[in-house]
């Protein structure tokens, strides 16, 4: 049987209050910008950071039709769009059944086998569903010392990608959910203004109730989750949300916002020897700081999360860099969400994706400014959607 999640399409009216101290968020139809993207854009430009928080609040409210889920949890997981054998995905509101091993383990561990589980990747060598490797090929380590419990194996931060309904519909309509579809492209992609994507990062808790309680006290959202380890065994337990990219196409360059929990430096570390606390070097930006304070006071359930910054127009000088310490950990100094995703492109002649690694004798370097059009001769632009790189050949 297929489990179906009814999706409610919510929205933020373009006239919502932006003044600090009066952050009254109206969430009706916010995913479609109240059917008025131009009006929402005008409001957004008055205070991008306040609008970013409005979206974050609305995404974290209980879904009106699926009350046990937050709105963002009704988004379609990317692993259920870009299927391993390149098949057409199930409809947006339908979900693949959980593996039987997951439901059995969940029941044995006193969890809810009928509830929502975040799929946090497959660690087997060569899996296209890898959930720990960042863009630079590295992974973010959990603190080997308290408050993280001791473990006989190095613990790594995991991530998960999701998309909104209009993003999904565009991909399915244009049959680009597999590499076969991308190989047939004859023009650049152009997603609708109401396209949304999310990328989340997670601390693995497993079944450690003490660690779970500690993270809950530090304001982390806790969810049931599972992943496949390097030997192919299912691991089932709980995970804590440490970061979230929230992305939509309100502007031609898309809007890039990122949030993370303020307690992350306690739990994650750098690759230095000895390791140091992992902090965010790109923010919160000066524009984000007062907005963070205002919304954190008004929404105590989200008070430990903070907005790092917003990018939305490549012609604006600031912020040039924007990263999430949980998702772009080791290369924050050369991380620009907008510039990196602007390189999303595919060559139908070579059947490969554009390489956004810049030539640099000192090591890997990523673009912090939009590259010129001449660099993309022979490529079809993918409209900033790098998740398409997860598409598989049909077989």
pLDDT digits (tens, 9 = 90+) for 247-262: 999 999 999 999 999 9
Asked if 237 and 321 touch (Cβ cutoff 8 Å), the reply is no
Nearest by Cα to 268 from 155, 121, 118: 155
pLDDT digits (tens, 9 = 90+) for 265-302: 999 999 999 999 999 999 999 999 999 999 999 999 99
In whole angstroms, give the CA distance from residue 338 to residue 319: 10
Asked if 174 and 391 touch (Cβ cutoff 8 Å), the reply is no
**pLDDT tier at 21 (50, 70, 90 boundaries)?**
very low
**Percent of the chain whose predicted confidence (pLDDT) is above 90:** 83
**Percent of the chain whose predicted confidence (pLDDT) is above 70:** 92
Residue 333's pLDDT is 85
Whole-number average pLDDT of the chain: 91
pLDDT digits (tens, 9 = 90+) for 260-273: 999 999 999 999 99
Least confident of 15-24, 61-70, 160-169: 15-24
DSSP string of 133-170, one letter each residue = --TTS--PEEPSSTTSPP-SS--B-EEEEEE-HHHHHH
Residue 331's pLDDT is 82
Residue 363's pLDDT is 57
Model pTM score: 0.92
Residue 367's pLDDT is 86
């Amino acid at each position: 049987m297929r489990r179906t999640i009814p999706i409610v399409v919510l929205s933020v009216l373009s006239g919502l209050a932006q003044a600090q101290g009066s952050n009254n968020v109206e969430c009706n139809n916010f995913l479609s910008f109240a059917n008025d993207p131009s009006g929402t854009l005008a409001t957004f430009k008055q205070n991008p950071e306040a609008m970013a928080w409005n979206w974050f609040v609305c995404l974290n409210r209980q879904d009106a039709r699926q009350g046990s889920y937050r709105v963002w949890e009704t988004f379609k997981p990317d692993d259920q769009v870009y299927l391993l054998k390149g098949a057409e995905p199930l409809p947006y509101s339908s979900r693949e059944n959980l593996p039987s091993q997951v439901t059995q383990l969940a029941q044995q561990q006193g969890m809810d086998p009928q509830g929502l589980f975040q799929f946090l990747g497959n660690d087997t060598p060569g899996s296209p569903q890898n959930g720990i490797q960042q863009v630079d090929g590295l992974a973010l380590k959990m603190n080997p010392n308290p408050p993280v419990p001791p473990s006989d194996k190095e613990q790594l931060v995991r991530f998960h990608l999701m998309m909104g309904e209009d993003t999904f519909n565009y991909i399915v309509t244009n049959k680009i959910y597999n590499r076969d579809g991308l190989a047939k492209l004859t023009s650049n992609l152009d997603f609708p203004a109401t396209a949304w994507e999310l990328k989340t990062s997670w601390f693995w808790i497993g079944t450690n109730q003490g660690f779970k309680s500690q993270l809950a006290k530090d304001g982390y959202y806790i969810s049931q989750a599972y992943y496949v380890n390097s030997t192919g065994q299912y691991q089932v337990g709980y995970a804590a949300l440490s970061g979230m990219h929230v992305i939509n196409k309100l502007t031609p360059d898309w809007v890039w916002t990122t949030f993370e929990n303020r307690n992350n430096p306690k739990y994650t570390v750098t690759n230095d020897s000895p390791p140091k606390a992992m902090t965010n070097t790109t923010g919160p930006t000066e524009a984000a700081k007062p907005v963070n304070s205002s919304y954190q006071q008004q929404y105590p359930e989200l008070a430990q999360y903070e907005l790092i910054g917003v990018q939305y127009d490549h012609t604006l000088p600031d912020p040039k860099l924007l990263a999430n310490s949980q998702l772009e950990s080791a290369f924050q100094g050369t991380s620009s969400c907008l510039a990196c995703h602007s390189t999303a492109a595919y060559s139908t002649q070579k059947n490969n994706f554009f390489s956004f690694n810049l030539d640099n004798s000192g090591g890997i370097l990523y673009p912090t400014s939009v590259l010129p059009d001449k660099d993309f001769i022979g490529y079809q632009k993918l409209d900033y959607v790098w998740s398409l790189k997860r598409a598989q050949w049909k077989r």
